[in-house]
Amino acid sequence: MKRKLIEGTIQGNEKGYGFLIPFDTELEDFFIPHGELRGAMHKDTVLCEATSEKGERTVARVLKIIERGLYEIVGTYTSSRSGGFVKPDDKKYFSDIFIPSGKGVRAKTGDKVVCKIYAFPHGKCPEGLIKEILGKRFTRLAELKSIEKAYGLENVYPKKAQTYANDLKAPTEQDLVDRCDYRNLLTMTIDGEDSRDFDDAVSIEKHKDGSYLLGVHIADVTHYVKEGCPIDVEAYKRGTSVYFPESVIPMLPEKLCNDLCSLISGVDRLTLSCMISIDKKGRVYDYTLKKSVINSKARLTYNKVQAIIDGDKKLVKEYSKVASSIYLMNELTDLLIRCREKNGYVNLDVKESLVSVDQKGQISVSATPRDKAHRIIEEFMILANVCIATFAYENKIPFIYRVHERPDQAKYEFFLSFLAGLGLNVKYNENLSSVDYQNILDNTVNHPAFNVINRVMLRSMQKAKYSDLCKQHFGLGEEYYCHFTSPIRRYPDLYVHRILKEFLANGKDFVFKKYSSVASAVALKSSQNERNAMEAERAVDDYYKVLYISSFLGEQFEGVISGVTSFGIFVELANGIEGLVKIESLEGGQYSFDDRRFVLSDGVHKYKLGESVTIVVAGVNMAEKRAEFTLVC
């Protein structure tokens, strides 16, 4: 039998084993027992050999550590006679780091620290030194700084890039020479209440034949961020802006994201405009892409737009110049939604939490709003992204697409098994499409476990990613899709703008020669940065949720069982906060866990997914960033 050698990255587990994530994305993950890691740690790049089958997963062993993945770890310091140890916050890094005497730099037990690893002795813990003390464990500032450091997020822009940004000037008349002048169009921005950077504006007209002309105008960031300039280098490194309840770590310096590239009302701004012609049935029949200049006529918020749609007379009068356009946008959105429902897409209704902090530091957690105003902008941005991706594909130019592949067979079968456990028998479809998933949602909308079905469905789907290859977007039911609409906060959007402008100016051959060999690397880096940012945002949100729920100790709430495990049940509250009810706190005797039907039972008491329960907030586990509940019997 020929040896199967695979290169990839180690993903550790707190229990000491790991998984190989192959660089070849066509391969599944491999399980690596602790004894076969041979000193490899979380995020290390390794060469492995496949060895055997274990259940549904192939087992591998590490042959060679090609490159260490982490040299800095954030964790909690504990002193000892011989020095001390740092316990990593990231449980995937399953080994403590030994800090020899003299390398602790005044760190004390319980301090949150940044540790620099300098040695990996065979058969022993890695060795390191304390690089920075962040503060006392569990204090708000130290915990938030720890998360930023753990995910490699930098608040301060490098001096060279900041100087470059400070020297940038507002556009002159010369910059407008080769642009379509849309300054007389009734354009407007619609964003959140606290938004500071506005990278998209919209305009709309309706013709006598019932058709619409929708304009999606996106900030032309690449006019300022030239390829290879100090800002571009740093933006590529960051990949995306990262949003926390009390702060933002931006991809671009403030002068760009909050000033020169922000589509501020009443100010001339450079844009790329996608002008989309839509017939009276909601179908696109033409679109054009133009370098342009706009002057936004109004800065609106989702709340105000929703109020205007709902008939708030005071706001309708205040925004009389744009109210009719808002009504048209609402009308067009209804058409687009009906059209997409007909063509097929997965309209998940997963509860997301909105964590906010007021000026006094008070935390609130609520369900993320899903009103019509948000849906209008969402639909318009999706449509523009589809048009731009179609444009790139039809012109056969190197590009970065946003792809979302079909669920893999194992996860799809697991999802069907989960549904069967709820008494819902859904027929397996070898040619699974988004229509099949949407039908499941439509047929279970009144099921008590509907919210859980949404969440498990989401987990069964692949993660969306960036790719230089055009593949379908399963969730949206679209053949061609990209991210074009947020170049202030996402690097792939900025890069897409750069390719499109080069194509418009210099043609296909020039673009192919310049970008065909690098697009895949930009796509991979963008996907990695996106995942890192999402994990950091989730970690911060989890911390705030624990702080919030800790003020309700002893209080009762209604919830739904969102997870069933061998060690207890998870209950989700209406605001999206989830807590664990430990198995030892449950009433009754010896419990057994049915992992096919997701039921925990002792023969008398039974707990299953989707069941409504009443809980008491029993405590919080700050180390795990998790709430702990008990059931009200």
Average pLDDT over residues 501-527: 95
Give per-residue pLDDT as tens, 263-302. Answer: 999 999 999 999 999 999 999 999 999 999 999 999 999 9
User: What pLDDT was estimated at residue 2?
Assistant: 62
pLDDT at residue 57 greater than cutoff 80: no
Sign of the dihedral defined by the CA atoms of residues 75, 80, 84, 90, in that order: negative
Examine residue 469 and state whether it is found in any structural domain, yes or no.
no
Average pLDDT over residues 484-506: 97
The more confident residue out of 400 and 423 is 400
Contacts of 27 (CB under 8 A, 6+ apart): 6
- Can you give the three-state secondary structure of 108-155, one letter per residue? CCCEEEEEEEEECCCCCCCEEEEEEEEEECCCHHHHHHHHHHHCCCCC
Find the mean pLDDT for residues 352-362: 90
559 and 600 within one domain:
yes
How would you list the strands of the sheet with 606-608, edge to edge? 592-594, 599-601, 606-608
Q: Does residue 548 form part of some domain?
A: no
* Cα distance between residue 189 and residue 423, in whole Å: 47
Instruction: Check pLDDT > 50 for residue 1.
Output: no
Condensed to tens digits (0 to 9), the pLDDT of residues 182-194 reads 999 999 999 988 8
Query: What integer is the mean pLDDT of 597-612?
Result: 88
Quick: pLDDT tens for 419-456: 988 888 899 998 999 999 999 999 999 888 888 899 88
Reply yes or no on whether the pLDDT at 498 is more than 90.
Answer: yes
Average pLDDT over residues 45-54: 86
* Domain stops at, among 132, 150, 168: 150
Q: How much of the chain is in helix, strand and coil states, percent to nearest 5?
A: 30, 30, 35
**pLDDT for position 25:** 72
Q: Domain for residue 471, yes or no?
A: no
Pair (145, 163) in one structural domain: no
Q: Which of 466, 302, 292, 444 has its CA nearest to residue 385?
A: 466
Cα atoms found within 13 Å of the Cα of residue 296, Cβ hemisphere only: 25
Q: Residue 401: beta bridge partners?
A: 467
- Separation of alpha carbons 271 and 428, rounded Å: 47
Residues 374 and 504 in one domain: yes
CB burial of residue 210 (10 Å; 0-12, 13-18, 19+): exposed
Same domain, 255 and 386: yes
373 found inside a domain: yes
Please tell me whether residues 347 and 494 are part of one structural domain. Answer: yes
Q: What's the CA gap between 271 and 294, in Å, rounded?
A: 7
- Percentage of the chain beyond pLDDT 90 is 83
Percentage of residues of the chain with pLDDT beyond 70: 99
* 522-545 per-position pLDDT tens digit: 999 999 999 999 999 999 999 999
The confidence score (pLDDT) of residue 352 equals 82
- Specify the CATH number for the domain of residue 63: 2.40.50.140
* 426 and 285 co-located in one domain: no
CATH number at residue 78: 2.40.50.700
Co-location of 226 and 331 in the same domain: yes
Q: How far apart are CA 38 and CA 397, in angstroms?
A: 44
Average pLDDT over residues 90-108: 93
Average pLDDT over residues 360-371: 89
Per-residue pLDDT at 451: 84
Q: Are residues 125 and 197 in the same domain?
A: no
- Determine if the pTM surpasses 0.85: yes
Same domain, 217 and 305: yes
Is 600 within the bounds of a domain? yes
Residue 55: the pLDDT is: 56
- Parent domain of 116: 72-150
Q: Are residues 181 and 312 in the same domain?
A: yes
The pLDDT, as a whole number, for residue 4 is 82
Same domain, 309 and 341: yes
Average pLDDT over residues 47-52: 90
Q: How far is 251 from 232, CA to CA, in rounded Å?
A: 10
Query: Helix or strand or coil: residue 11?
Result: strand
Tell me: the pLDDT tens digits for 340-349? 888 888 988 7
For residue range 459-481, what is the model confidence (pLDDT) as tens digits?
999 999 999 999 999 999 999 99
Q: What is the pLDDT of residue 121?
A: 94
Average pLDDT over residues 316-331: 96
361 backbone φψ class: left, alpha, beta (φ>0; ψ -120 to 50): left
Question: Is residue 470 in a domain?
Answer: no
Asked if residue 582 and residue 513 are part of one domain, the reply reads no
Structural domain contains residue 104: yes
Region 550-571 average pLDDT: 94
- Number of structural domains, the chain? 5
Q: Which of 26, 42, 67 is the last residue of a domain?
A: 67
